[in-house]
Amino acid sequence: MLANKNILLGITGGIAAYKTTFLVRLLIKAGANVKVVLTESASSFVSPLTLATLSKNPVPISFVSTEDNQVDWNNHVELGLWADIMIIAPATANTMSKMASGASDNLLLTVYLSAKCPVYVAPAMDLDMYKHPSTKVSIEKLQSFDNIIIPATSGELASGLHGEGRMAEPEDIVAFIESDLAKNLPLRGKKVLITAGPTYEAIDPVRFIGNHSSGLMGFELAKSAANLGAEVILISGPSKYTVNHNFIDLIKVVSADEMYQEVHKYYKKIDIAICAAAVADYKPKTKATQKIKKKADEFSIELVKNKDILFSLGEQKENQFLVGFALETENEVENATGKLKRKNLDAIVLNSLNDNGAGFGKATNKITFIDTKSQIKTFELKTKAEVALDILNEIIQRLDA
């Protein structure tokens, strides 16, 4: 959700400022680009050097900086416009009062007044200060400016008192922002199931039948769907790829039978299912319990059909929007359309091995999207991340129709 977002963290002078080192680490771990601005008093609670090291960016405190006998100024407008999201944490009673009144007597406040992005405010102060009517007025005024308040929590306070006023924990701040950003996303509230990668069908304990699918397309679909607000269940065969996203539940399998079981475990509660996995059509009829020794000049393996996962989902489809993939080498559109009808799909994504840059093991793909109304849309060669977004946008259009 925060990947590649420019996040500006403003830190004011409260004891909770020590937690911002952890907040910076979490934001960077989530994939964000982070810059930090301190008030003068905040620098007494947390080291600018520590924050600069963690964020890999200079940490300005005042309007003017002097380094190596060179005088320079910190451009508050440039900082404010750089940010996609601004977070003020901790936000003291003093700073919130100034933000509410439009006061701008330090760099952080002028950056706040210059920002055009959503601003999240995480109050932190002692119990009586937090309950004071003037603090409530400041919070209400800030909310009227469309600032978003991350509520303080209850706990032990610096004064030794126990009550409301404690700044939300860094992980809760990140979760709050991700949840808030997701509210207006097109797949918010949708459950999406995606299959990815190959399946390996065991011959013996060390050998298997497989294919060259890397799983990248399925993983990019999962990330894009999650970034659009969906709760994603990603069921992947063996793949070198992994994913770390709060909205993605990664389930790893090996064989087609395992994938079949996992898919059907979740399918009834799914809104959208995208079967991007390259599932083996056949498996050995029997699996040797010991490694098969190299003896004969010729060796035969009897194969039997695997269960057709996509067909079984089409049979059981109720309100799900079901999408399959077709990898073709000839009569591509005709064969893909036949598969769409035969398996009771809502749409199919066609890949042609005749297109350079498309297919297994590539960082790019070239697709044609076909639906039940025979609407056919062909896309140019793109990265698989871009292709994933194209596919999801086509699905969203049809959900809204």
- Per the structure block, which two tokens stand in for 71? 């005088």
> Which residues have a catalytic role annotated?
211
Q: Helix crossing, 20-29 with 170-182: angle to 10°?
A: 40
Residue type present at position 196: A
Q: Are 108 and 95 in contact (CB under 8 A)?
A: yes
- The whole-angstrom separation of Cα 223 and Cα 225 is 6
Q: Helix crossing, 216-227 with 384-400: angle to 10°?
A: 50
- Is the peptide bond prior to 90 cis by the omega test (within 30 degrees of 0)? yes
- Strand 6-11 relative to strand 33-38, pairing: parallel
